[in-house]
Structure 1
Amino acid sequence: MSISREEVLHIAKLARLSLSEEEITMYTHQLGDILNYVQKLNELNIDDVEPMKHVLDMVNVLREDKDLPSLSREDVLKNAPEHDKEFFKVPRVLRTE
C-alpha cells in the first residue's frame, strides 16, 4: 500500500507541520513502508488467538487498604519551614490588586 504526496501534505497540515520537499519525499516513503507492514499484519490468521488486555499475564499487586492512625498535627508541622500552629505557611501565589 502506498501513500500519496497529497496525503502526506494533508497529514502535515493536520499536525500543523511545514515540511520541506526533502521531508515530504522522505515521509511519503516512510509512511508507505509503515502501511505495507500493517498490511502484512492483516494477512495473519488470528482466529484462534484470544484477545488480551496486556502482553504479560499481570494481576493486581496492590496491597489491601488498611485503616492506620494519622500523624498528629504537631508532628506534621514540626518539619515545616513556617507554620501558624494550624496550617503550613507558603508564599503567596496570586496577587490581589
Structure 2
Amino acid sequence: MSLTSNDIQRLANLARLELESTQSEALLGQMNAFFDIVEQMRAVDTSGVEPLSHPVATVMDVALRLRDDAVSESNQRDANQQSAPAVEQGLFLVPKVIE
C-alpha cells in the first residue's frame, strides 16, 4: 500500500491538521515507510507459531503479578441506591426507552 500526497492532505483534513508542504512530504515518506514495514511483516509465514502471553515470554519466565481476589470493601448497595428514584429487589428501575 502506498499513499499519495492527496491521501496525506485528506488525512490531515480529517484530523483537522494544517500541514505545510514540507511537513506533508515528510509525513508521506514516514507513512509509506511504515506501510512497507507492515507489508514485510504480513509476508512472514506465522502458521504454527503459538501466540505469546507476554512480549518478553521468549526471553525469560514471566509470572503475572496478580493480587489475590479478595473483598476490600463492604456491600454498599443499599446506601448507593437510596438516591435512586425507583429500586426493586436491589435493581435500579429505569423507564423503557426502546420499543
Fold-level similarity (TM above 0.5): yes
Which category describes the TM-score, using the shorter chain as reference length?
A: 0.5 to 0.7
Structure richer in strand, relative to its length: 2
User: Aligned Cα RMSD in Å?
Assistant: 2.5
Aligned length: 69
- TM-aligned CA deviation for residue 54 of structure 1: 3.6
1:4 aligns with 2:4: yes
- TM-aligned CA deviation for residue 60 of structure 1: 5.6
Task: Look up the match of 2:50.
Answer: 50
Q: Which runs of 4+ in 1 moved over 2 A?
A: 50-60, 66-69
Gaps of 5+ in 2: 75-99
Identity percentage of aligned residues: 20
Task: Look up the match of 1:15.
Answer: 15
> Which structure ranks higher in relative contact order (CA pairs < 8 Å, sequence separation ≥ 6)?
1
| TM-score, scaled to structure 2 | 0.58
In 2, Cα distance between equivalents of 1:6 and 1:68: 56
| Higher Cα radius of gyration | 1
In 1, Cα distance between equivalents of 2:30 and 2:72: 55
Gaps of 5+ in 1: 70-97
